[in-house]
Amino acid sequence: MKNKLIPFSIALIFIIIFIIFYKGLQDTNIYTPKIKINYEIPSASVELFDSNEIVNTLEIFKLDKFYLLNIWSSWCVPCREEHPILMDLIKDDNLKVIGINYKDTKKNAKKFLKELGNPYDKIIFDNEGINAIEWGAYGVPESFLINKNKIIKKYIGPLNKSSMEEIKLFIK
């Protein structure tokens, strides 16, 4: 009996290790971030781009409307691509677009908005990129659809036509 137990346990360990490695092989090694939804927006003090005023984020999103928080920068090329979509989205009265100006200079940002139009109701000035971290963002561009102080959808990367249609369906 004892003699059988040793090969059996060795075989069992090998089988367990084999299963773990086999499962690991099937997993993709490209990390896809979890897009958790329906969580509260972070409460933090932020600096506004135009007035240099310090306000709380909850203050910005207090109305009973849909908000699209868009992280952008003048040096970010995909932001240029998605800009016409933002300009299109603000035609709907039920949606307000709020910007986070990420690691940018005010001069360049103003030039960018002058050239392509300003879809933003308010802009948060985020010189060090720490406000974007507060929102759990990875970089630019990134957008969050917010309703009643909750994030209901997160878009990583530039918005495209299909995401625009989706946002329009949400805010209807």
| Binding stretches for another protein (CB under 8 A) | 2, 6, 9-10, 13, 16, 31, 33-34, 36, 103, 128-130, 132-136, 138-139
Q: How far is the CB of 113 from another protein (least distance, A)?
A: 21
Q: Specify the residue for token string 């300003």.
A: 118
- Which two tokens mark 99? 């910007």
Question: Which of 3/162 has CB closer to another protein?
Answer: 3
Question: Which of 103/153 has CB closer to another protein?
Answer: 103
Per-residue buried b or exposed e for 83-108, using 16+ beta carbons within 10 Å of the residue's own CB: bebbeebbeeeebbbbbbbbebeeee
Question: Which of 1/169 has CB closer to another protein?
Answer: 1
103/78 Cα distance (integer angstroms): 15
Q: How far is the CB of 98 from another protein (least distance, A)?
A: 19
- Which two tokens mark 161? 């036509």
Q: How far is the CB of 17 from another protein (least distance, A)?
A: 9
